[in-house]
Amino acid sequence: MKRVGFLTEKIADKDNLYLAYYKAKRGKQYKKEVIRFGDNIDYNINKLHDKILEGNVSVGKYRQFTITDPKKRNVYAAAFDERVLHHAIMNVCHEYFEKTMIYDTYATRLNKGVYKALDKAKSAARRYRYVAKLDFRKYFDSISHDILKDKLERIFKDKKLLDIFSQIIDTYSVEEGKGIPIGNLTSQYFANYYLSSLDHYVKEELKVPVYIRYMDDMLLFDNDIRRLKECVNLVENYSCEKLHLTLKIPVIKQTEDTIPFLGYKIGKNVILLNSRSRNRFSKKMFKYEKLLSNGIWSEKEYQLHILPLLAFVQYAYTKKMRRRVLSRIKVEERL
**285 and 159, same structural domain?**
no
> Is 22 domain-assigned?
yes
pLDDT in tens, 199-232: 999 999 999 999 999 999 999 999 999 999 999 9
> Is 83 domain-assigned?
yes
CATH assignment of the domain containing 200: 3.30.70.270
pLDDT in tens, 271-312: 888 778 777 888 888 888 888 888 888 888 888 888 888 877
**329 and 218, same structural domain?**
no
**235 and 95, same structural domain?**
no
Q: What is the pLDDT of residue 278?
A: 76
Enumerate residues 6+ apart whose C-beta is below 8 A from 189. Answer: 90, 93, 94, 97, 108
> Is 107 domain-assigned?
no
Higher pLDDT among residues 232 and 63, named by residue? 232
Helix H, strand E, coil C: the string for 16-42 is: HHHHHHHHHCCCCCCCHHHHHHHHCHH
- Nearest in space to 142 (alpha carbons), one of 175, 190, 97, 189: 175
Enumerate residues 6+ apart whose C-beta is below 8 A from 277. Answer: 70, 263, 264, 312, 313
**22 and 163, same structural domain?**
yes
**293 and 243, same structural domain?**
no
Q: What is the pLDDT of residue 332?
A: 45
Q: What is the pLDDT of residue 333?
A: 46
Higher pLDDT among residues 329 and 291, named by residue? 291
**120 and 215, same structural domain?**
yes
Where does the chain have alpha helices with state H?
A: 8-12, 14-24, 32-39, 41-54, 80-98, 114-127, 139-142, 145-153, 159-169, 185-194, 196-200, 225-243, 275-293, 299-314, 319-329
**36 and 68, same structural domain?**
yes
**185 and 299, same structural domain?**
no
> Is 309 domain-assigned?
yes
> Is 2 domain-assigned?
no
> Is 245 domain-assigned?
yes
**39 and 13, same structural domain?**
yes
* Percent share of the chain, pLDDT over 90: 68
Number of domains within the chain: 3
Enumerate residues 6+ apart whose C-beta is below 8 A from 261. Answer: 117, 118, 121, 133, 214, 217, 219
* Percent share of the chain, pLDDT over 70: 94
Distance, in Å, from the CA atom of 25 to the CA atom of 37, rounded to the nearest integer, reads: 10
Q: What is the pLDDT of residue 248?
A: 97
**237 and 131, same structural domain?**
yes
Residue at which a domain ends, from 244, 270, 296: 270
Q: pLDDT band for 142, please (50, 70, 90 cuts).
A: very high
- Domain range for residue 80? 8-99+146-168
**322 and 248, same structural domain?**
no
- As a whole number, the mean pLDDT across the chain is 91
pLDDT in tens, 173-182: 999 999 999 9
> Is 1 domain-assigned?
no
Residue 42 has pLDDT above 90, yes or no: yes
Residue at which a domain ends, from 251, 270, 289: 270
Q: What is the pTM of this model?
A: 0.89
Q: What is the pLDDT of residue 315?
A: 75
Whole-angstrom CA distances from 16 to 19, 36, 85, 86, 190 are: 5, 20, 10, 11, 21
**163 and 125, same structural domain?**
no
Q: What is the pLDDT of residue 298?
A: 85
Distance, in Å, from the CA atom of 213 to the CA atom of 106, rounded to the nearest integer, reads: 6
Rg (Cα) of the chain, in Å, rounded? 22
> Is 109 domain-assigned?
no
Residue 335 has pLDDT above 60, yes or no: no
